[in-house]
Structure 1
Amino acid sequence: MVLVGHSGAGKTTLVEALALASGAVTRAGRVEDGGTLSDHDEIEHRQHRSVQLSLVPIGWDGIRVNVLDTPGYADFVGELRAGLRAADAALFVVSAADGVDGATRLVWDECAAVGMPRALVVTHLDAARADFDTMVADCRRVFGGDDPDAVVPLYLPAYGARRPDGSAPVTGLLGLLSKRLFDYTGGERCEREPGAEQAAAAEEARGRLIEAIIAQSEDESLMDAYLDGAECDTKTLVQDLEKAVSRGVFHPVLAAAPAADGGTQGLGTVELLELISGGFPTPQERPIPEVTSPQGAPRPALACDPAGPLAAEVVKTSSDLYVGRVSLVRVFSGTLRPDETVHVSGHGLADRGHEDHDVDERIGALSAPFGKQQRPLDKAIAGDLACVAKLGRAETGDTLSAKDEPLLMAPWAMPDPLLPVAIEAHAKADEDKLSQGLARLVAEDPTMRLEQNPDTRQLVLWCLGEAHRDVALERLRSRYGVRVDTVEHRVSLRETFAAKATGRGRHVKQSGGHGQYAICEITVEPLPEGSGIEFVDEVVGGAVPRQFIPSVEKGVRTQAAKGVAAGYPLVDVRVTLSDGKAHSVDSSDAAFQTAGALALRECASGTRMHLLEPVAEVEVTVAEDYVGAVMSDLSGRRGKVLGTEQAPSGDTRVRARIPEIEISRYPLDLRSMSHGTGRFSRAYVRHEPMPQQLAAKLLEREAAAEAGR
């Protein structure tokens, strides 16, 4: 089961409360033999928020439940997607103090698309102005879609004496099916009869719940009995509820809070554990992702069977100071055992710096994580999650299978990193370790892309946002001992001629002995976009000997690659060699290369040049409420809006073309503009002339930066 919700909703606190109520820990957040559940990473301690996927195994009613706690901040959506892939059901945590955010709604829609069972839990009911009924109404509106009756509470909160400010603490829960009151006042669950007023208030809600269970479970016999006015059997209602939840069509709402007064059972924790262990599906009830051979040949569908072919997937990769690389693996089929040789296949993200794998590897020990500890396992069977040591080649998203029957699982969707961060080694010692540190960092995080830009000669780390960037750079420093500095990201600009120009290159030197003599005259004229560099020989009468014409061309092309005006590659011109002079003794290949370069630079000095900037086509998907702001913002960035269309999700998709220099920070600005719900993609289209005024400012800024180095 995976916990989903925005940052600050209380997911980690809820995990600790469930572990305490189940007996997995002896006191809040503490494991039996030391350590805590939530201190996996020192970065999480400093930032006071989760930045990575964590696993907490607990047990209830003889059933083992793997609870996956995911970060709520949008920059770490890769960890969330990994959690969704590894889980069979999702528990959405919503805060009564903050309401439902748009990003959580998007994740709900993703789960709905694959039929993942979902339930909701409301936290922070003790906050000022928090109201359970209002929160349920919001959940029905946001998550109910075409059928809001599928989102209904199983319990109603019971309140204690009112405080001086008029609010009242939630002290217990009234079960709508059992008609029993579960009192948590003393930190332990006590069951008793509700008062007459409480029972009467819950009767209407109970009727709505029963009708929703009957409708979603499609139990016709129960429907007939209910319509005839007969009392519905509670046991049958619970069975139908569990069936509807498991099918992913019924979404119960519960409330939860940590234990008070030193107790071990927080409000709603027992009810949640009962729903998770009884209402959520087992791994055998959920479909397994499609598998093929590593070469793409189809393979029969797999079942969650410990005796079946081995098919496991790396859902998270991390590094341990003493153990080395540790892979969190979900076993979908078969049984994984320590010290066996497996086949590693993956994973189609070569464009992000993740090379494809098709190798055999011997795995190390298996363990179950619990806080900072690793508890040894003798095997991991289908449906289980385990940590695997010493998988040196496997990365997040890779498939582990039997070496004599290699398989490849269909990858899960990963967001594109769209925030560029240019970095440089802080010192010589860091430069020596930078390559290895970055390789290990990228291996852990498939949402990150590493680029060595050949045009700008910058090392660029593409991230999902500022928080993602900060965590990546901090991990480089603290985990791999590499310090880096961030520098301004540069886009790949080009140069071209705005008009026809002529130039003469004269390279004549005599310093005793063998001299250098080469003169050439060229004409440069602009060509249509995409033409590259075209070289034409129009020399007559042997003014430039035939053996030196390729030398002139080589000099021209070498200089074009370096740039002739602002230091950017020259493109889309025709260079015509028309005349020249040579010496029978002093002319050489090197001399004519130099003359060709000099001639090209002279052409540039005598005419107007265009600075070309890359233009991208972007697709921005936002809710209708934000379309106007997005279109206005794009226009303000020198963008040209091409049109809008309705997206399948019901949102609006805005298409525009915009200079790439204007969207370096667009992921951050769009998130702010759309309250975290907007998303966009970009694709390079072509280079276009930059306005002269902007080009002049850019060149001045770069010259100042270069002078300050």
Structure 2
Amino acid sequence: MGDKANAHPGAAGRAVAADRPASIRNVVLVGHSGAGKTTLVESLALTSGAVNRAGKVEDGGSLSDYDEIEHRQQRSVQLSLVPIEWNGIKINILDTPGYADFVGELRAGLRAADAALFIVSAADGVDGATRLVWEECAAVGMPRAIVVTHLDAARADFGDMVTTCQRVFGGDDQDAVIPLYLPLHGEPAADGNAPVAGLIGLLSQRLFDYSSGARAERDPGPEHLPLIEEARNRLIEGIIAESEDETLMERYLGGEECDVKTLIQDLEKAVARGVFHPVLAAAPAPEGGKQGLGTVELLELITGGFPTPEERDVPPVTTPQGKPRPALTCDPAGPLAAEVVKTSSDPYVGRISLVRVFSGTLRPDETVHVSGHGLESRGHEDHDVDERVGALSAPFGKQQRALDRAIAGDLACVAKLGRAETGDTLSAKDDPLLMEPWVMPDPLLPVAIQAHSKADEDKLSQGLSRLVAEDPTMRLEQNQDTHQLVLWCLGEAHMDVALERLRTRYGVQVDSVPHKVSLRETFASAASGRGRHVKQSGGHGQYAICEITVEPLPGGSGIEFVDKVVGGAVPRQFIPSVEKGVRAQAVKGVAAGYPLVDVRVTLHDGKAHSVDSSDAAFQTAGALALRECASQARIHLLEPVAELEVVVADEYVGAVMSDLSGRRGRVLGTEQVSDGSTLVRAQIPEIEISRYAVDLRSMSHGTGRFSRAYARHEPMPQQQATRILEAEKNGDR
């Protein structure tokens, strides 16, 4: 692809607009934290002319104007959009966080993009999480290319990195992962490392020298030819193998020289179909340089090889009521169908929604219909409302540049959508639509929080609702059993960022407290008790006596109330009162304050007074009788047990099973779910897996994932139950 003429970069500071879907490319950058994604974005912006050599745009904005939290975290924590222009093509670059806690931002980037660049560091290799994302992209046929960075690091080797990528990404078809260029190292520096100074184009057989900070093209020297031949032949064979021209391989094997332009066209078609994955190299521009190494070649690949939005399918749509609708196409004149892929808050502008337009054209100040999926389990309300669109803009760092429209295939920021949340669909108010949602990971790390002060308590509800609206990977729970407010996150870093955003964006200070699981109580043995509520001091008296027995039932039976009163000892109208009092006390608990379950309560005797007996008196007597039974019986604490399914690489199965056993878990079995991955099924007390999201990631080097579902409550070991009961008596609970 290196034979193309150098394109004319766009002017810094200009809002990049698109007039047709064919002139748009949407590209997401994927890679582990520290691989160099953000540095590459800055290099591409410099080469395209979107920023000057100091990394600034004409109006003073900068790509380095990141979120305050990102500066403190020293890593990207959110999806960012950088639109640039190259050779008349608008390129929307979606830079995603590389840390596993922010996989929700990565999934949003994948949803908004039509192709992916996988950034791998020659110093660090390919991590397991990146490999999983590659497999996810492969499953939906998303076009992919690979960019190798950090080639000037000690012991970094481009050839070794290509071999690794072929093994990890290529699988059975390693000839589909082949470099287009070979890097050339310059003179060694004082530290002994030789910086990459240029590239050799394998198809064009031209040398592209970046040593001056600007791309210069010339013929390779004789010493370079041996480097080219073998790699070039393998590249040509790989392209021909994926060519739609079935005669090309026959002509090539017959000794015919393949036309370079034909090879480039076949290469670009194979890349766009997602069946060929070129490998490129990139490095930042030297100080004062105008172009980063490999950036021109990468921009040529993006504009020539990656698909237009018209070549990708639009996600299925229905009506908000779930009725199917005909499939949409990427047509600016079609029905409006756009999706909020990210929601953020600006202290001056308010809520800003990053929107991908899949069909139709979105314009400022028009009224649209907002449809949500109503993820009530994660704290997202269902909604189906009309809203007026505010200003449309293209972001650049912290700057927002006005747009007059956003056509099908494009991305834009929309201001003042007060009800829209991440994942919601925007459509015409007279033709409302709902897009099929994308898959989001379940948050499995709980953190219980409480307001730091009374002033914080007043603002807490609104702050949390805004926080959850921004991030669909977060779930808010008001636990009715433990009376705790629980924020479910993807990991510790995700939790830290959430609490920091509450403090800095919404002015709410919260404290984290130990998370409690929903325990239960039950009787381990039968017992009898008498409830006596007699008061005769002044005014209308209160008189109620009842005698009950309590016996344990099998798990899952709940509370069973049996009336065996004979002879009218307890008048018929007061028997429901006794039951009501018993059940009310059961909800409060009889030992440690946890709900009582799985018992049969039998009322067999009692006394009443013709004047002083009442509904309230017998309710109180029923509660007292149950508490007296508890004082005479042995009480078991029941803990919730979860069904756990863990998918992990085969090499970590032993460690995972051993760890589960150490947590009082019972491994039920294993099965092979894919080449190299195993599913482990287990039952385990929930109290043992509060931090399992963090621990599994550490154990499996980021490749493990798990799901959990409530199974049942079962007796807690006596030693542990005793500690909880003693803490309750001492008021430490």
Indicate the residue corresponding to 1:175 in structure 2.
Answer: 201
Residue 469 of structure 1 and its aligned partner are, at CA, apart by 0.3
Deviations 1:124-178 (A, max 9, x none): 1111111111110110000001101100100001011234665422111111011
Give the conservation status (yes or no) of the 8 Å contact 1:39–1:45.
Answer: no
Distance in 1 of aligned mates of 2:216 and 2:282: 15
Indicate the residue corresponding to 2:436 in structure 1.
Answer: 410
| SS of 1:517 mapped into structure 2 | strand
Distance in 2 of aligned mates of 1:643 and 1:468: 32
Distance in 1 of aligned mates of 2:432 and 2:729: 55
| SS of 1:520 mapped into structure 2 | strand
Indicate the residue corresponding to 1:273 in structure 2.
Answer: 299
Aligned amino acid, residue 607 of structure 2: K
Give the conservation status (yes or no) of the 8 Å contact 2:550–2:599.
Answer: yes
Deviations 1:272-312 (A, max 9, x none): 11111111111111111111111111111111110111110
Residue 182 of structure 1 and its aligned partner are, at CA, apart by 0.7
Alignment map for 1:73-152 (pairs within 5 Å): 73-152=99-178
Residue 264 of structure 1 and its aligned partner are, at CA, apart by 1.3
Distance in 2 of aligned mates of 1:172 and 1:702: 71
Task: Please point out which of 598, 601, 608 is paired with 2:624.
Answer: 598
Residue 350 of structure 1 and its aligned partner are, at CA, apart by 1.8
Distance in 2 of aligned mates of 1:32 and 1:558: 69
Task: Please point out which of 336, 348, 363 is paired with 1:310.
Answer: 336
Give the conservation status (yes or no) of the 8 Å contact 1:20–1:28.
Answer: no
Indicate the residue corresponding to 2:270 in structure 1.
Answer: 244
Deviations 1:573-631 (A, max 9, x none): 11111111122222222221111111100101101111000001010000100000000
Deviations 1:511-548 (A, max 9, x none): 22322221110000111222111111111111112222
Aligned amino acid, residue 436 of structure 1: Q
Alignment map for 1:344-493 (pairs within 5 Å): 344-493=370-519
Residue 702 of structure 1 and its aligned partner are, at CA, apart by 5.6
Indicate the residue corresponding to 1:665 in structure 2.
Answer: 691
**Structure 2 vs 1, CA of residues 689 and 348 (structure 1 numbering), >3 Å: closer, same or farther?**
same
Distance in 2 of aligned mates of 1:280 and 1:396: 26
Residue 650 of structure 1 and its aligned partner are, at CA, apart by 4.3
| SS of 2:47 mapped into structure 1 | helix
1:338 aligns with 2:364: yes
Indicate the residue corresponding to 2:580 in structure 1.
Answer: 554
Indicate the residue corresponding to 1:510 in structure 2.
Answer: 536
Give the conservation status (yes or no) of the 8 Å contact 2:120–2:126.
Answer: yes
Aligned amino acid, residue 598 of structure 1: L
Judge which range, 503-512 or 173-182, deviates more.
Answer: 503-512
| SS of 1:26 mapped into structure 2 | coil
Give the conservation status (yes or no) of the 8 Å contact 2:286–2:292.
Answer: yes
Indicate the residue corresponding to 1:196 in structure 2.
Answer: 222
Distance in 2 of aligned mates of 1:702 and 1:255: 63
Give the conservation status (yes or no) of the 8 Å contact 1:414–1:447.
Answer: yes
Give the conservation status (yes or no) of the 8 Å contact 2:61–2:396.
Answer: no
Indicate the residue corresponding to 1:617 in structure 2.
Answer: 643
Indicate the residue corresponding to 1:22 in structure 2.
Answer: 48
Distance in 2 of aligned mates of 1:500 and 1:175: 85
- Percent same amino acid among aligned pairs? 83
Alignment map for 1:571-650 (pairs within 5 Å): 571-648=597-674, 650=676
Deviations 1:365-422 (A, max 9, x none): 1111111011001000000000111111111011111111111111100000000010
Give the conservation status (yes or no) of the 8 Å contact 2:592–2:724.
Answer: no
| SS of 2:593 mapped into structure 1 | coil
Indicate the residue corresponding to 2:31 in structure 1.
Answer: 5
**Structure 2 vs 1, CA of residues 481 and 120 (structure 1 numbering), >3 Å: closer, same or farther?**
same
Distance in 1 of aligned mates of 2:215 and 2:729: 71
Distance in 2 of aligned mates of 1:672 and 1:699: 34
Give the conservation status (yes or no) of the 8 Å contact 1:186–1:261.
Answer: no
Aligned amino acid, residue 415 of structure 1: P
Indicate the residue corresponding to 2:279 in structure 1.
Answer: 253
Deviations 1:292-346 (A, max 9, x none): 1111111111111101111100000011112111100000010001111111112
Judge which range, 159-168 or 621-630, deviates more.
Answer: 159-168
Indicate the residue corresponding to 1:696 in structure 2.
Answer: 722
Aligned amino acid, residue 144 of structure 1: G
Judge which range, 193-202 or 264-273, deviates more.
Answer: 193-202
1:216 aligns with 2:242: yes
Residue 649 of structure 1 and its aligned partner are, at CA, apart by 5.8
| SS of 1:479 mapped into structure 2 | helix
Give the conservation status (yes or no) of the 8 Å contact 2:591–2:725.
Answer: no
Task: Please point out which of 49, 66, 79 is paired with 1:53.
Answer: 79
Judge which range, 359-368 or 694-703, deviates more.
Answer: 694-703
Distance in 1 of aligned mates of 2:421 and 2:538: 63
Judge which range, 521-530 or 621-630, deviates more.
Answer: 521-530
Aligned amino acid, residue 314 of structure 1: V
Distance in 1 of aligned mates of 2:539 and 2:169: 87
Distance in 2 of aligned mates of 1:40 and 1:60: 24
Distance in 2 of aligned mates of 1:358 and 1:213: 49
Distance in 2 of aligned mates of 1:460 and 1:28: 45
1:527 aligns with 2:553: yes
Equivalenced residues, count: 707
**Structure 2 vs 1, CA of residues 349 and 38 (structure 1 numbering), >3 Å: closer, same or farther?**
farther
Distance in 1 of aligned mates of 2:507 and 2:462: 11
Deviations 1:468-489 (A, max 9, x none): 0000000000000000000000
Give the conservation status (yes or no) of the 8 Å contact 1:29–1:36.
Answer: yes
Aligned amino acid, residue 395 of structure 2: P
State TM-score, norm by structure 1. Answer: 0.98
Give the conservation status (yes or no) of the 8 Å contact 1:5–1:104.
Answer: yes
The gaps in structure 1 that reach 5 residues or longer are none
Judge which range, 620-629 or 548-557, deviates more.
Answer: 548-557
Aligned amino acid, residue 663 of structure 1: I
Residue 348 of structure 1 and its aligned partner are, at CA, apart by 4.3
1:36 aligns with 2:36: no
Give the conservation status (yes or no) of the 8 Å contact 1:12–1:38.
Answer: no
Give the conservation status (yes or no) of the 8 Å contact 2:79–2:95.
Answer: yes
State TM-score, norm by structure 2. Answer: 0.95
Residue 698 of structure 1 and its aligned partner are, at CA, apart by 3.0
Deviations 1:49-98 (A, max 9, x none): 10000000000011000000000000000000000000000000001111
Aligned amino acid, residue 316 of structure 1: K
**Structure 2 vs 1, CA of residues 236 and 412 (structure 1 numbering), >3 Å: closer, same or farther?**
same
Indicate the residue corresponding to 2:315 in structure 1.
Answer: 289
| SS of 2:304 mapped into structure 1 | helix
Aligned amino acid, residue 269 of structure 1: T
Distance in 2 of aligned mates of 1:165 and 1:21: 28
Give the conservation status (yes or no) of the 8 Å contact 1:17–1:28.
Answer: no
Aligned amino acid, residue 19 of structure 1: A
Indicate the residue corresponding to 2:15 in structure 1.
Answer: none
Deviations 1:178-224 (A, max 9, x none): 11111111111111111111121111000000000111223323222
Note the aligned Cα RMSD (angstroms).
1.2
Runs of 4+ in 1 over 6 A off after TM superposition: none
Distance in 2 of aligned mates of 1:610 and 1:71: 47
Aligned amino acid, residue 470 of structure 1: D
1:235 aligns with 2:261: yes
| SS of 2:671 mapped into structure 1 | strand
Distance in 2 of aligned mates of 1:586 and 1:209: 98
